[in-house]
Amino acid sequence: MSTLHAITVPKWGMSMEEGEITEWRVDVGDEVSVGDEIVDIETSKIVNTAESTCSGTLVRIVAQPGEIHKVAMLLGVVAEGEVSEAEVDAFISSYTPDAAALNKPLVGREEPHSTAQPAVATAQAEAQPAPAADTTRALEDDPDDSAVKASTVARRIARAHGINLHNVAATGRHGRVSKWDVEKAAGIRIRAKAARVAAAEQERSTADDSRTSATPVARRLAKKLNINLNDVTPSGRHQRVTKRDIEQAARATSGVEHYSEEPLSGMRKAIARHLSEAKQSIPHYRVSVDIELDSLLSQRSYMNGELGQRISVNDFIVKACASALRQVPAVNVQFAGDRIRHFEQADISVAVALESGLVTPVIRKADCKSLPQIAAETQRLVQRAQSGQLSLDEIRGGSFTVSNLGMYGVDQFDAIINMPQAAILAVGTAREQPVVRDGRILAATVMRISLSSDHRAIDGATAAKFLRALKGLLENPASMLL
């Protein structure tokens, strides 16, 4: 007697509702065992691999790559023993998704530590507003970019334009900076396109277009819009100018409706959905404070110089936040409906901006880690984020988020809370400013930080206490050692 098993879309977190099939790792006819990697499924943030929960032969692939299926829907069929095609057909047609599975996240893929709830997992994978292209290099301007992975031609163009490869978001294969990335950073593409458009504008032909091949509707429309058919790129059969070509030409020359549209990616959809929800459902308030960074910067230059470390200002901020959360545990919380959830360790999410959106990988137990450990971990996570390799475990969880726009020269901003967390720190740029001390005006490097908090869980005084602690730690970095 043969048995048929269903391969279904697993639920990798409470808020996961559907996944896009990206690739089958086995073919029909292949043997599979429990735990074998069988199919890659993309959720709103990452691509994960589903493992087989049964053994046998894959006899049917129901869902093809590119298709999006709800949790618990049938993807394929595995058979133990001999089965006929008719039996498989009958199994598929009679398959109904397990109602329990729809609501239950997959066991065994939970948070490594007990306090974080499954809800953290995917919510964590959701969005976070403040893009930080490369948080590890918040204030770093290391002229030596030879360690950055880049293609030869990208490096050459970057050198020609005086671009530091540290400042270029890499989208190439294996996280490499590509020629395209550098050209984009240098504005070459945009300028070239603008030049092309301007040239086309000038060359608008006034020649007779009555013999140019065009559909009757296109010709009619061109006449109405005063467009010469010779100026239009034909896309119709036999190089005929079509109505669509005229409409496109009209948009290009008129300057109105000068836009293109693209469908939302899964990640963009998730960002849109969760930030709207966060902004609408969480009573946000902000508390800001100025931090003097001179002491920290001198400590950092000593560490990076004398001690040969590579520690960024952002690493200090992550470490300081973790320590401050220790000192003011009332901020290391989440609002969970009818209760407040207190976290026992400080897991700091760090916002990383990618071409495609935003991810927030987590530095776990940042309160127990040294600055070099945090620096190394952040660097690793940013690299993995840029090459799209982050695993679900690396982005789920997290009890607090740091978002840094300092490298963009932003003085101050407010961030939207990264649900279901209760607080997020927005970090501005550090600038030399006049400060008054003991009645004297002095120059100091000042950075403004702003804490957005969920008032349901954190009161204003608590937030202020936290900022005071954070300010103390950042202005006296040695106290982080305590």
Pick the closer one to other proteins by CB: 131 or 236.
Answer: 236
455 catalytically annotated? yes
How many CA atoms lie less than 13 Å away from 398 in the CB half-sphere?
34
Q: How far is the CB of 237 from other proteins (least distance, A)?
A: 6
Q: How far is the CB of 242 from other proteins (least distance, A)?
A: 6
Degrees to nearest 5, angle at CA 284 with 392 and 399: 30
Q: How far is the CB of 206 from other proteins (least distance, A)?
A: 24
List of E strands, 74-230: 74-80
DSSP three-state, residue 363: strand
Pick the closer one to other proteins by CB: 70 or 243.
Answer: 243
Pick the closer one to other proteins by CB: 246 or 303.
Answer: 246
- The token pair at 367 is 């309160």
Question: What is the C-alpha to C-alpha distance for residues 248 and 243, in angstroms, rounded to an integer?
Answer: 9
Pick the closer one to other proteins by CB: 144 or 261.
Answer: 261
Residue among 32, 22, 110 nearest 69 (CA): 22
Alpha helices in 207-312 (DSSP H): 216-225, 243-254, 266-281, 294-305
In the sheet that holds 18-24, the strands lie side by side as 47-51, 37-42, 18-24, 68-70
- Backbone dihedral region of 56: left (phi > 0), alpha (psi from -120 to 50 degrees) or beta? left
Q: How far is the CB of 215 from other proteins (least distance, A)?
A: 5
Number of Cβ within a 10 Å radius of residue 214: 24
Q: How far apart are the first and last CA of the chain?
A: 67
* Whether 466 contacts 346, CB under 8 Å: no
Residues at the site binding other proteins, with contacts judged by CB under 8 A: 215-218, 220, 236-238, 240, 242-243
In the sheet that holds 31-32, the strands lie side by side as 3-8, 74-80, 56-61, 31-32
Pick the closer one to other proteins by CB: 69 or 219.
Answer: 219
Q: How far is the CB of 244 from other proteins (least distance, A)?
A: 8
Question: What is the C-alpha to C-alpha distance for residues 271 and 16, in angstroms, rounded to an integer?
Answer: 14
Pick the closer one to other proteins by CB: 214 or 346.
Answer: 214
Number of Cβ within a 10 Å radius of residue 77: 24
Q: How far is the CB of 246 from other proteins (least distance, A)?
A: 10
Number of Cβ within a 10 Å radius of residue 221: 21
Question: What is the C-alpha to C-alpha distance for residues 200 and 190, in angstroms, rounded to an integer?
Answer: 15
List of E strands, 339-387: 340-342, 348-350, 352-354, 357-359, 362-363
Q: How far is the CB of 218 from other proteins (least distance, A)?
A: 7
Question: What is the C-alpha to C-alpha distance for residues 412 and 403, in angstroms, rounded to an integer?
Answer: 11
Q: How far is the CB of 217 from other proteins (least distance, A)?
A: 4
Pick the closer one to other proteins by CB: 229 or 346.
Answer: 229
Pick the closer one to other proteins by CB: 221 or 427.
Answer: 221
Residue among 395, 423, 441 nearest 122 (CA): 395
* Whether 437 contacts 419, CB under 8 Å: no
Longest dimension (CA), the chain: 91
Q: How far is the CB of 263 from other proteins (least distance, A)?
A: 17
Q: Which of 161, 238, 274, 455 is catalytic?
A: 455
Question: What is the C-alpha to C-alpha distance for residues 168 and 155, in angstroms, rounded to an integer?
Answer: 11
Question: What is the C-alpha to C-alpha distance for residues 479 and 326, in angstroms, rounded to an integer?
Answer: 13
Q: Which helix (H) or strand (E) holds 432?
A: strand 423-437
Pick the closer one to other proteins by CB: 215 or 418.
Answer: 215
Active-site residues, by number, are: 455
